Amino acid sequence: MDCEPIAVLSDIHGNVRALDAVLGEIARRGIRRVVNLGDCLYGPFDPRPAAERLMGLAAPTVSGNEDRILVGTDSASRTAAPPLSRVARFTRARLEPRHLAWLGSLPLTSIDGDALLCHGTPTDDTVYLLSRVSAGALAMRSGGEIDALLGPVAQRLVFCGHDHTQRLAVRGEKLIVNPGSVGCPAYADDVPEDHVVETASPHARFAVVRPGRGFHAVELIAVPYDAPAAAAEARANGFPDWAGWIATGRSEERAKKGGAA
């Protein structure tokens, strides 16, 4: 018998309007099993409503690179490091100690049934698993590149996020799913080099995976929501770049240190 469907969320970035739209669609579909791949709260919004939703959801959740920034740790040693960007300072100043404690408790990877959850790759939450940067944009990695980044993963399902782009890859018996971003459909960054990510629409994105004995069915979903209101909040809080990304799913900037990834 096939397992129950899994709703896969990632890269919410504090956008509670987008999160509520996705959670509403999950409820409408009657899906009970939800996982979260991190970068939960870092963004130009009041992060507290999204924090309350996610803590109350109690879904298996891993830490993203921006979650670590908010609690002041690095990926390898969890040693202290100060927030690095204006967005991080803005978000952290609005979080309560219990929200930061929750972020700090999140593991870098997690296993949920036959699924491995990670933000970037299984060993580095700052590296894209399915994408690479080419000529200032994203391109799909080769199978060999994906295999090298996966390493000795035993699980047949691998869920990853970080690049905000809905992608699938099959490597032998493994299915790798990137559900896209719930809350930020475009951004500019300079890691590993200057590039932009654009999904070309403001929708909130997630995936539904239906595991099976012989194969897995995947649905990549884009949900409309009140993106103009989210963009207006970002602009009012002093982040016009984010406002443009959220409103359009496009980025006019070629690079921005401390981008959303």
Which H or E run includes 148? Answer: helix 143-150
pLDDT of residue 254: 42
Question: What single-letter amino acid sits at 86?
Answer: R
Mean pLDDT over residues 222-244, rounded?
A: 98
Cα separation of the two ends of the chain: 37
DSSP 120-145: SSSS-TTS-SSEEEETTEEEEPPHHH
* H/E run at residue 245: helix 240-248
Task: Give the dihedral sign, CA 139/62/185/95.
Answer: negative
Count of C-beta atoms within a 10 Å radius of residue 68: 24
One of 3.40.50.2300, 3.40.50.620, 3.60.21.10, 3.90.1150.10 is the CATH number of 6-248, namely 3.60.21.10
- In sequence order, what are the beta bridge partners of 189? 195
Residue 214 has a CB neighbour count (10 Å cut-off) of 5
pLDDT reading at 6 higher than 70: yes
Cβ contact 14:47 at 8 Å: yes
User: What does pTM read for this prediction?
Assistant: 0.93
Do residues 34 and 57 touch, judged by C-beta distance below 8 A?
yes
Averaged pLDDT, 68-75: 80
pLDDT of res. 29:
97
Assign 255 a pLDDT band (cuts: 50, 70, 90).
very low
* pLDDT digits 0-9 by tens, 144-192: 999 999 999 999 999 999 999 999 999 999 999 999 999 999 999 999 9
80: pLDDT strictly greater than 60? no
Number of Cβ within 10 Å of residue 61's Cβ equals 25
Tokens in use for 109? 């990877």
129 close to 149: Cβ distance less than 8 angstroms: yes
Using the predicted structure, report yes or no on whether residue 130 has a pLDDT greater than 60.
Answer: yes
Q: Residue ranges of the domains in the chain?
A: 6-248
Backbone angles phi, psi at 5, to 5 degrees: -65, 150
How confident is the model over 82-129, as pLDDT tens digits? 547 999 999 999 999 999 999 999 999 999 999 999 999 999 999 999
What would the two tokens of residue 32 be?
């009970």
- pLDDT of res. 72: 86
> Is the per-residue pLDDT at 213 higher than 80?
no
Instruction: Specify the 3-state DSSP secondary structure of 18.
Output: helix
Q: Which amino acid is at 89?
A: R
- Interatomic CA distance for residues 244 and 232, integer angstroms: 9
Tell me how far apart the alpha carbons of residues 211 and 177 are, in angstroms, rounded to a whole number: 12
Residues in the chain: 261
- How sure is the predictor about 74, in pLDDT bands with cuts at 50, 70 and 90? low
Query: Which residue type does 158 have?
Result: V
For residue range 15-67, list pLDDT tens digits in order.
999 999 999 999 999 999 999 999 999 999 999 999 999 999 999 999 999 99
